[in-house]
Amino acid sequence: MAVAVANIMRKPPPPSAFFTPAGLSDFSFLKLLAATAGDIVSADSGEMPRYQRRNARCLVRRIRTLLVLIEFLIETRRPLPSSAVLCFKELYIVVHRARILLEYCLQSSRLWLLLRNREISGYFQDLEREISTLLDVLPLSDFCLNADVREHVELLRRQVGNSRIYVNYEDEELWIQVLSFLEDFGKGRIPDVSDLKSTFTDRIGMMEARDFESEIEFLQNQIISHEGAVDTEADLATIDGVIAVVRYSRFSLFGAQEVKESNKRTTRRPLPLPVRDISALPKDFCCPISLELMRDPVVVPTGQTYDRHFITQWIAGGHQTCPNSGQNLGNAVLIPNRAIRSVISHWCAANGVASNSHASGGISASASTASKAALEANRATICILVHHLSTGENASKATAARELRMLAKIGKENRAMIGAEEKAISFLNLLLRSPNPTAQENAVTALLNLSINDANKTRIITQPGCLRSIIRVLRFGLTPESKENAAATLFSLSAIQEYKKRVVEEPGGVEALVWLLKKGRLRGKRDAVVALFNLSTHPESWERMVGSGAVAALVGAVAEEDGVAEEAAGALALLARQPVVAGMVGWEERAVAGLASVMRVGSERGRENATAALHEICRRGGAEVAERVARVPGVARVVQTVAVEGTKRARRKAAALARLLQRREWRPMPLPAPASASGWRGAGWGVETTGEMSPVAFPVAVL
């Protein structure tokens, strides 16, 4: 039996993953095989998959007949010839693969089975062929079978020998109908609600809103995990488009009614599918890396042909040589091998094998068509959701906010469409004051995701009362997640320079970030510290940072090394460009020791930030501060270490710091007393930016 190599994209495991147990007598092994087959046969009286039902029942009948043979051999206890033992060991693997395939069909969603209808039918046919091969070589004449058992086995041999792949064309037509809705959206037409109900509810059996949400969740998981054949652009775009159609249908048919988590039907992630038998595949049609049929063959500079997906992963993993020849790949330009792709397609057609070249074993729309249709379907859904935000009941508003949050998470086009929808941000702003914790959390997280779009940043900032409401959630949010996402929203908004000052000057905003940095969970601390980092980049923010206690909180974060020390070091590096702040931080021995610790054991980014902070402290704080820094144990040694082993930027700043510590060339600056630092004024102390090494910035997370 051929063995295909499982790849890192969660491909199905090879048959060798199911080894027959060692150390068992022939009799014990037959009993184990009978028990395994019996588990499958017993499933025939229980739940069967809605789709692939005929193939599933046929497979169970085959195994039931084989179980009759196995039980006869157990009863007679006749010794088995070695060839028979080998056949039964192969049968053990086939039975395991059959169980996985049946469980896969039971655990998969309805639409997923329709999408992969042809391919899954091919898996059932593969098992039929393997059973046929085993029966051909099984020495039945050595078993002294009675007439009844022999008749059953001979009938099974004829059936599997003559079997052909069975594809339910009604299921194919149903999938085509689903894709027709996608086509309608692509042409700017909204499908009729009665047609949606007829297809999804009456024919596919999605009777409730929770069924639609379960389908969406399952399909999204397939995109994330790239299960099976979902790794071509057309496949991904088609599934994304179908998700958009299902989401629109859910809200068109059922409105924004709430689906409680306890009532949502959970579809377990199915076990991986058994590997298709590739023993009959021409070697030249298989990718040398995956040993599987190539879907998108490409030629590398060495002249070798690989599947684009696998050679791209190989190169992305840092490999610079050809897997086959070992030659250097040079610029690694990948050229489509249209000739071999055409030959593969013809061979697949001639041999009844579903071609995987730009197909998922089913019917897909083109990538561009599906993407455009998904965009239009999402646009129509957004209109429905915004309507529910404005006129719906409280539960409907919470559901609409959740869906807008998810749409804003999964695509930049969705973020732009939601932001452009009249009053969408206004209604989300009103929901920030909701007494419903879930509604408030979804509203603030939706605003966070929308704020990634620069135009939406402006809409949020200019929306009357919206910034104040976000800060109110940061201070008094009903859940920790709401507070954390409010902090992340401030971080996102402050990415635009002119908005930094507005955030800093909004009453209570910086103080709330300080509280979250001190008292919040680790994720909250990170959200708070990166927001403070962003705000620190504004030249007029330092007084507010000092007066609100932000500097003291950042010093505490660096000193306590509670998971945000590296980010806090970056903010201090910016604030320490003011002599007052440099003196405050340099006066704190625990701050200097904390920065030195980050320089010693931190990441590359953290070491750069900590080195820059210490350099600014010594450069701006005056001679007395520099001397205090130099006297802190371990500082001199860690500066020398970074100057030798750090990144280029860190080495440059560490060398400058070392020179400052050695020469003691300081400008005479008065050292402020830490207790009265908030009373200092910054007249005449501009922030110098020429020649500075800015700390490393942080990205915005989408939630």
Mean pLDDT across the chain: 82
CB atoms under 10 Å from CB of 700, counted, come to: 17
Whole-number pLDDT of residue 700: 57
- State the virtual CA torsion across 140, 141, 142, 146 in degrees, nearest 10: 80
Query: What does the block give as tokens for 251?
Result: 């809200």
Separation CA 63–CA 531 (nearest Å): 62
pLDDT of residue 437: 94
Q: What is the edge-to-edge ordering of all strands in the sheet holding 297-299?
A: 305-307, 297-299, 335-336
Residue 544, pLDDT score: 87
| Backbone phi and psi for residue 307, each to the nearest 5 degrees, phi listed first | -75, 135
Length of the chain: 703
Model confidence at 335, pLDDT cuts 50, 70, 90, reads: confident
- Average confidence (pLDDT) over 606-610: 90
**Tens-digit pLDDT profile for residues 38-61:** 988 886 666 778 889 999 999 999
Yes or no: say if 572 and 596 are a contact pair by the CB < 8 Å rule. no
Its pTM stands at 0.72
Instruction: Give 197's contacts (C-beta < 8 A, 6+ positions apart).
Output: 253
Q: What is the pLDDT of residues 278-324, one digit of tens each?
A: 345 676 788 877 767 888 888 888 888 888 888 888 887 777 778 77
* Residues 6 or more apart in contact with residue 440 via CB below 8 angstroms: 431, 432, 433, 434, 473, 477, 478, 479, 482
CA distance 289 to 295: 13
- pLDDT tens digits, 346-357: 677 655 555 544
Q: pLDDT of 207-258, one tens digit each? A: 999 999 999 999 988 887 764 444 456 678 888 999 999 999 999 999 987 7
pLDDT of residue 46: 63
Query: Do residues 396 and 438 make contact, with C-beta atoms less than 8 angstroms apart?
Result: no
**pLDDT surpasses 70 at 534:** yes
Q: What pLDDT was estimated at residue 317?
A: 74
Element (H, E) at 305: strand 305-307
C-alpha–C-alpha distance, residues 56 and 67, integer Å:
16
Q: How many helices (H) and strands (E) does the chain have?
A: 32, 3
Q: Between vectors from CA 136 to CA 134 and to CA 140, what angle results, nearest 5°? A: 95
pLDDT at 345: 76
Of residues 396, 499, 483, the one with CA closest to residue 448: 483
Tell whether the torsion through CA atoms of 433, 438, 439 and 441 is positive or negative.
positive
User: Do the Cβ atoms of 678 and 552 come closer than 8 Å?
Assistant: no
Q: If residue 307 lies in a helix (H) or strand (E), which one and from where to where?
A: strand 305-307
B/e letters for 187-200, b = 16+ CB within 10 Å, e = fewer, are eeeebeeeebeebb
